[in-house]
Amino acid sequence: MKGLFVVLEGSDGAGKSTFRERFEKKLEELKIPHLCTREPGGSKVGEKIRRLLLDPDNVMDARCEALLYAAARAEHVEKTVKPALEKGFLVLSERYVISSLAYQGYGRNLGKEAIWKINEFATAKLMPDVTLFFYISPEESLRRKTESLDRLELEAMDFHERTRVGYEELIHSLPVNLIHADKSPEEVYKEGEKVILDAWRRCNG
């Protein structure tokens, strides 16, 4: 049995967590060995870095922010993702490198090349087998956000606009499965489920 590394991507409120919650039940039903995880976080140290990153009190330099996301990712890859893949698990991560390219590369204007370099180092070049990109409009994204906002979500509209433009460019240049997430939750779920289960069956026959 071979592991499969799946990443859920998309802007805040695009429906990644809703998808993950339902899909996790399906994985249990099908008895597929799996691990659901998230970024920033997904490891003991990574969760501590997450608290630093999302605390609205922690105003920080953009490069500091980019390196902290990459640091959390390095720990996540080594301590959580790789060991599970080696055991043949389906690993499902909410967010990965594309988030850093969009938010730090475009949103923070650090440039996608610089962010790519630190992330190649952080991940030791481990890239997902499948990326589902949940696509919704920025207005819809803000409308869906009801709970208290974290530090990134509190950023000005131009930051979110640059991030959105970044995502638009990235989804056309990277190998992602685009899911139009403004469709009904049922359609969105079914589409995503099919992509992942097909990939799992292809590698586990």
Tell me the closest approach of the beta carbon of residue 5 to ligand TYD, in angstroms.
Answer: 15
Member of 3, 9, 35, 39 binding ligand TYD (CB under 6 A): 39
Cβ-contact 37, 93 below 8 angstroms = yes
Cβ-contact 102, 16 below 8 angstroms = no
Interaction of residue 9 with ligand TYD, rule CB under 6 A:
no
Cα distance between the two ends of the chain: 9
**Which sign does the torsion angle of CA 184, 185, 190, 195 carry?**
positive
Which residue, 55 or 198, has its beta carbon nearer to ligand TYD?
Answer: 55
| Interacting residues of 147 by C-beta distance below 8 A, sequence separation 6+ | none
Question: x/- site string to ligand TYD, residues 96 to 135, per CB under 6 A?
Answer: ---xx--xx-------------------------------
Q: CA 178 → CA 8, 143, 191, distances in Å?
A: 10, 21, 10
Which residue, 141 or 177, has its beta carbon nearer to ligand TYD?
Answer: 141
Member of 1, 2, 17, 168 binding ligand TYD (CB under 6 A): 17
25/57 Cα distance (integer angstroms): 36
Options 147-155, 168-176, 179-187, 197-205: segment touching ligand TYD (CB under 6 A): 147-155
Which residue, 178 or 203, has its beta carbon nearer to ligand TYD?
Answer: 178
Q: CA 187 → CA 151, 190, 192, 193, distances in Å?
A: 32, 5, 9, 10
Member of 34, 76, 95, 112 binding ligand TYD (CB under 6 A): 95
Among all chains, which residue has been given the structure tokens 């469709």? 183
Burial of residue 118 (CB within 10 Å: 0-12, 13-18, 19+) is: buried
**Residue number with the shortest CB distance to ligand TYD?**
103
Question: x/- site string to ligand TYD, residues 56 to 85, per CB under 6 A?
Answer: -------------x----------------
Instruction: Tell me which residues touch ligand TYD (CB under 6 A).
Output: 12, 16-17, 38-40, 54, 69, 94-95, 99-100, 103-104, 150, 152-153
